[in-house]
Amino acid sequence: MKNKIQVQPVMDALEIIGGKWKFPILYSLCGGKKRFKDLLEDIGKITPKMLSSELKSLECNGLVSRKAIATVPVTVEYELTEYGETLEPLLRHIQAWGINHRKKIIDSIK
């Protein structure tokens, strides 16, 4: 049983931050406050509808905060909360692994 329990926290974490888009959104916010259109541009392949629903989920789980700024028209900024920032080391690990993986693939083609 001991080992089985150790996998469950991984699945618990993925319930909150798993899926195709949450890691890229969170990683983009590691770079500081972002507006909706900045996030769309950073991530590229995500639809506005999907980005909006993923941001709501991240907000609901206390990882991202949303602030409306009284410009005309209103602008909305998203930011990692303090709790969201606890993910930064993990996100940087994934990014570094991704860079290394791409290099490994390119080297293997040469």
Nearest residue (CB) to its own copies, 52 versus 100: 100
By CB under 8 A, the residues from 28 to 67 that bind its own copies are: 28, 31, 41-45
Burial (CB count <10 Å: 0-12, 13-18, 19+), residue 29: buried
CB atoms within 10 A of CB 64: 23
Q: Which of 76, 86, 109, 110 binds its own copies (CB under 8 A)?
A: 86
* Four-CA torsion 70, 76, 79, 81, nearest 10 degrees: 70
Segment interacting with its own copies, rule: CB under 8 A, options 12-20, 50-58, 66-74? 12-20
Nearest residue (CB) to its own copies, 42 versus 59: 42
